[in-house]
Amino acid sequence: RKEVEQDPGPFNVPEGATVAFNCTYSNSASQSFFWYRQDCRKEPKLLMSVYSSGNEDGRFTAQLNRASQYISLLIRDSKLSDSATYLCVVNRITGGGNKLTFGTGTQLKVEL
Amino acid sequence: SQTIHQWPATLVQPVGSPLSLECTVEGTSNPNLYWYRQAAGRGLQLLFYSVGIGQISSEVPQNLSASRPQDRQFILSSKKLLLSDSGFYLCAWNGGTPTDTQYFGPGTRLTVL
């Protein structure tokens, strides 16, 4: 089982739609969670951190369910500019210290 | 504010040739530094990380090596490139603990022919 699993998509949605992505992680001891956005042929950029209580940033809402070990990202009122790949990121506990593990990403295409 | 630079942006190299990619960070001291590779259609794979000058940890066995000669400089090298070394190489940094948010440089797109 992969440490971080995401549906690769693509999710094709019309402009203005609401779309949700889920991500599951395997290490129950994980403590840091993030969503990154990656545009085609560009570097990943931090979208938002994910906190236990859930957090919102404008049209974006992130939720964490520790019991089920999944993280979600909700995008409301999708814009064309939201088209990108969204990466779920979880810290990984290893004998060599904690590191971040990136999912392979979910691709979103917002269409007119 | 902190910025991270990588060069070159694009590189085409023949099999068996050497490689040197450079990453520098400005605006911070004693950062944790990371090298990742992203192959076409695949996720980010952590290659090396460093918590200080001369301190390098390798995540996966390979024909690549990394060095950190200065606090804010991280170099990825190879003596002989393989076809499988093609990919998008990303340098990242963070402060504090290794599980804090990481910030990425613009990347180097390497094609080995």
DSSP state letter for B83: G
Residue of chain B with shortest Cα separation from A39: B106
Three-state secondary-structure class, residue B79: coil
CA–CA min distance B105, chain A (Å): 7
Instruction: Render pLDDT for B3-61 as a digit per residue (tens, 0 to 9).
Output: 999 999 999 999 999 999 999 999 999 999 999 999 877 789 999 999 899 999 988 87
A101 neighbors A70 (Cβ within 8 angstroms): no
Interface test with chain B among A4, A40, A99, A101, by most B beta carbons within 10 Å: A99
| Sign of the torsion formed by the C-alpha atoms of A90, B64, B107 and A78 | negative
Q: Cis omega (within 30 of 0) on the bond before A44?
A: no
Instruction: Render pLDDT for B69-96 as a digit per residue (tens, 0 to 9).
Output: 999 999 999 999 999 999 999 999 988 7
Name the CA dihedral angle for A88, A28, B56, B105, rounded to a multiple of 10 degrees.
10
Say if the Cβ atoms of A44 and B104 lie within 8 Å.
yes
From the list B46, B57, B105, the residue facing A43 with the nearest CB is B105
Q: What is the pLDDT of residue A27?
A: 87
Which residues neighbour B9 within 8 Å (Cβ) at sequence distance 6 or greater? B106, B107, B108, B109
Q: Which two tokens stand for residue A29?
A: 């001891």
pLDDT in tens, chain A (112 residues): 788 999 989 999 999 999 999 999 998 888 889 999 999 999 999 999 998 888 999 999 999 999 999 999 999 999 999 999 999 999 876 665 668 899 999 999 999 9
B18 neighbors B81 (Cβ within 8 angstroms): yes
Say if the Cβ atoms of A102 and B49 lie within 8 Å.
no
Say if the Cβ atoms of B44 and A32 lie within 8 Å.
no
